[in-house]
Amino acid sequence: MKKSKLLTLLMLGVAIFTINTLKAQTADLQVIHNAADPAASSVDIYVNGTLTLDDFAFRSATSFLTLPSGVPIDIGVAPSSSTSVSDTIKNFNVTLMDGNRYVAVANGVLNPASFAANPDGRMTDFNLFIQDNIRAASVMPGEVDFIVLHGATDAPTVDVLARNVAPLVDNAVYGDITPYISVPAASYLLDITPGNNNNQILLSYTADLSALAGGTAVVMASGFLDPSMNQNGPAFGLWAFLSDGTPIQLPQTSQARLQIIHNAADPAASAVDVYVNGTLELDDFAFRTATPYIDMPADVMLNIGVAPSSSTSVNDTLRNFEVMLQNGETYAAIANGVINPASFAPNPDAIPTDFTLFLQSGMREVAMNAGEVDLRVVHGSSDAPTVDVLANSAIIVDDAAYSAITGYLSVPPSVYLLDITPGNNNSIIVASFTADISTLAGQSVNILASGFLDPSMNQNGPAFTLIAVLADGTVINLSNVTGIEEGIKETGYVIFPNPSRDFITISNERGFERGEELIIYNSAGQEKSIVNTSAVQDKVLVDLSTFEPGIYLVRSSTEGITQRFIKQ
């Protein structure tokens, strides 16, 4: 009896061992048809002589198939009209490793001599690209994991970039398969560029992965870049194949980024409606306001119409502008000028001042360096002459006439004194402004001359000032720096003596507020001193013995008034 039980247990153990051994001797394989040859648009797949996939169409995929591992497997490809394994036109012998997961991608053309050659000299014969260690689920549940295959036989070496995010694929040649790329589940814009030349966007596609958290995909370039040279086969596209075999075509797109800024000081255009291709996009868009950067169609003609704020349809537009944006570019469109120039002061440099759009490409939504601020200056005051702009006494804009837009200037985040002088005569300061960009590290800023230098000659329109426009559409009015006489008249603040060698007295004939601070900055925008005042005093003494010679700014924490003095 004991021997019988022992024999039974031994037999059961052998059975369990055999089952486990058989289970371990399998592998999973996903098959994807990406061979764009029209003669292989639909095929039959035989595995070890057995018809496994019947009429398997181009750009379709299986889920994972369980196949024997550790032994050679014959995968035969035959026309869709095949009747047996003897009809196969291509056969591939593969051996899968125990417990591994693979993808096999049918690719290439049956007769390469009848198709365009690969630009990089890669062989384009009909083949199986096999990749192991394939994932059925992402490593992190909130992400999507995918590999990328360059499967377009006539396409050159390319890079793939997730626009404004990160490069994904670097110098991929036909047949290359990347390691896994993991990204948060979101929507991305993918730009395909020539290898090592990311300034030229060849094609762009939308990859909406927002619903695929926890999933995986095989993404591939598919079809022919030039069908006319490839027997009019299927055109190039990007396709994603999920682990369950679902094929997803990524839609081709063409997008640019655009910020619209209203800087037209004509009182008749103090608020406008903006139409794009007949659709109202901005309602009651006010002077000195801006949009954030928004996605706009590219590579197509856009009609931007400007109408009175009372408009009821596109038929009410006052001006219309035809523009074509380039795919992948970033623009600013600045509404400027006056509707009827004859009713306003002419530009001193005889530059036309008609209501128009200044369209500028190469705009930045963020600074090139995270520790700096990138500035661009726009001369948008129609009755102002050619000017220079000095930041803390250094020229940053030289001889800018109306409508001029400078290149980018990268500066440390700080407080800057901007002096506007006539072109080539920096001894006369026409106006001064404080630009406090100390909190804008990593951001880009457009500084615009705005309004009229002489409102009385321009229908009493808004007076000249400088405004700063941030990438999110925030508009900041820069503070006008008052001089000694203006300080007495407008604010009661006086700095004396000015210039000074040893000390200055800052007085306020109306008395300081309780808790008011007078903050002193040097010309680099660095804080040098804070003077605390009390409500019982009307003047404070500041010792300048530790100050280097130069220009300094004094800013009131409560009044927001900025004045300057010179330490000799």
The residue ranges of every structural domain in the chain are 25-250, 255-360, 373-480, 484-567
Compute the distance between CA of residue 47 and CA of residue 330 in angstroms, rounded to an integer: 52
Q: What does the DSSP 8-state code read for residue 425?
A: -
pTM for the structure as a whole:
0.78
Which residues face 225 on adjacent strands? none
For 196, the token pair is 């090592």
**pLDDT per position in the chain (568 positions), as tens?**
444 554 444 454 444 444 454 455 999 999 999 999 999 999 999 999 999 999 999 999 999 999 999 999 999 999 999 999 999 999 999 999 999 999 999 999 999 999 999 999 999 999 999 999 999 999 999 999 999 999 999 999 999 999 989 999 999 999 999 999 999 999 999 999 999 899 999 999 999 999 999 999 999 999 999 999 999 999 999 999 999 999 999 999 999 999 999 999 999 999 999 999 999 999 999 999 999 999 999 999 999 999 999 999 999 999 999 999 999 999 999 999 999 999 999 999 999 999 999 999 999 999 999 999 999 999 999 999 999 998 877 899 999 999 999 999 999 998 888 889 889 888 787 888 888 898 999 999 999 999 999 999 999 999 999 999 999 999 999 977 654 334 434 556 788 887 788 888 888 877 888 778 888 888 767 888 888 887 777 888 889 989 888 778 888 887 777 778 878 7
The fold for domain 484-567 equals: Immunoglobulin-like (2.60.40)
Phi and psi torsions of 145, nearest 5°: -105, 130
Please write the tens of the pLDDT for every residue from 211-239. 999 999 999 999 999 999 999 999 999 99
CA-CA-CA-CA dihedral for 297, 319, 452, 398, to nearest 10: 50
Distances (CA, A) of 248 to 50, 60, 238, 329: 29, 9, 9, 27
Distance CA 531, CA 101 (A): 71
**DSSP assignment string, 428-443:** S--EEEEEE-TT-TTB
> Which amino acid, one-letter code, is at 372?
E
Token reading at 438? 């100390």
Of 200, 179, 220, 234, the closest CA to residue 38 belongs to 234
Taking alpha carbons only, the member of 296, 204, 300 closest to residue 253 is: 204
What is the rounded distance in angstroms from the CA atom of residue 518 to the CA atom of residue 60?
72
Count of Cβ atoms closer than 10 Å to residue 132 Cβ: 12
Residue with tokens 């508009």: 475
What distance in Å separates the CA atoms of residue 455 and residue 434, rounded to the nearest whole number? Answer: 22
Judged by DSSP in three states, 143 sits in: strand
Concatenate the DSSP letters of all residues of 280-346 into one string: EEEEEEETT-B---EEEE-SSEEEEEEEETT--SGGG-SEEEEEEPPTT-EEEEEEESBS-GGGSPP
* Alpha carbon of residue 538 to chain centroid: 52
**Domain boundaries 255-360, corresponding CATH code:** 2.60.40
